[in-house]
A = this chain, B = another copy of it.
């Protein structure tokens, strides 16, 4: 009889969220395992909303299309598991459902919060002496803020998208040869990895962003305006990239300087940190009385499968496959991670680590990698990030547009 395993997706989307799902399916299917998917992560599992992935992924072509479909094929959630001594019934319910479907392995693809939730489940499993279900976490985030792993699937595709788009915006903003400041807002609530990635467009054919502001450093409006004044002396079209999570010295988010920014929310109900670029653009306009424009990449940067990094997509797929290998080797309570072996040639090794480690470290951009005058990143960042954005995915087109996997009708 075939074994049963289950996989879920949790947290915000990335361009390779489904590539990891495809990797899990591919390896598990190869091993003659039934692969169930929980709809909307643990939230769906609690309601026994479960599909058989084999009903949807019928052949290699489906698998390829799934790898390049944005969003979360199984749906996602922002569900935080309560502590088990407070609500044991939730844990009982989860294990009842897992037993009902005779699940031997549980894979959860998610960001930092989702992995923390999975960690609670692992701890509980150990507590009740459950050793016949293995729990494996698979990192995913565009923010690149997950510790233990060299980098996280999802980051590089978003990085490639923002670097490409900034490069295109730089061209757009310079055509009139007139004074102009463009402020580009990039995602990253607590970390500036993605904002830093905009500097990757700097090269022989592009001057790159002139100034970058990462959440890792306090945003001082007065100093930032001095930076602008300095750059404007020698350059007509100025490009500033700013992290959405930049904070003032008093701890407030920059976007909160304008209260009218506070009404927008994520689909999960999480408040959107949107507006930093508008706030800063207005400050620049008020100070210099110059032309300004604010550009937000918004959800585009985490959904742009059409501009995904092949390296990222391949790694996301492989990390999914390796989760299945790990559980087959009787690992549990661990996450799959990427170790970097070398930059040039770029080589990685996939391994696993105790999931509890995600609580112990933080994964901010090292502030010594940010140039003191905010004009860019050091060579260390270049060496870290450049290999990750290499290669383009092969997008399947239909009727002139990228083809996506049809939705699951549940």
Contacts and interface: CB of A to CB of B under 8 A. Distances in A.
A234 to B, nearest CB: 14
A398 B180 contact: no
Interface in A144-174: 160, 163-165, 167-169, 171-174
A37 interface: no
A39 B401 CA distance: 35
A268 B171 contact: no
B267 A168 contact: no
Given A163-B401, A167-B402, A303-B168, A77 B266 contact: no
Interface in A269-287: 269, 272, 281-282, 285
Given A267-B237, A285-B263, A400 B406 contact: no
Given A175-B75, A203-B398, A263-B282, A305 B70 contact: no
A245 B362 CA distance: 45
A172 B13 contact: yes
A169 B402 contact: no
A265 B237 contact: no
A72 interface: yes
A184 to B, nearest CB: 9
Interface stretch (A290-298, A322-330, A368-376): A290-298
A177 interface: yes
A205 interface: yes
Interface in A98-112: none
Contacts of A237: 267
A398 B205 contact: yes
Given A386-B399, A406-B205, A299 B172 contact: yes
Query: What is the interface residue range for chain A against chain B?
Result: 35 or more
Contacts of A177: 39-40, 75
Interface string A298-318: 111011111101000000000
A380 to B, nearest CB: 17
A71 B263 contact: no
Nearest to A275: B278
Nearest to A293: B264
A400 B176 contact: no
Interface stretch (A88-96, A332-340, A387-395): A387-395
A196 to B, nearest CB: 15
Interface in A54-72: 69-72
Given A71-B174, A178-B267, A205-B404, 8 more contacts: A13-B175, A71-B171, A167-B404, A168-B402, A172-B267, A172-B299, A206-B404, A263-B282
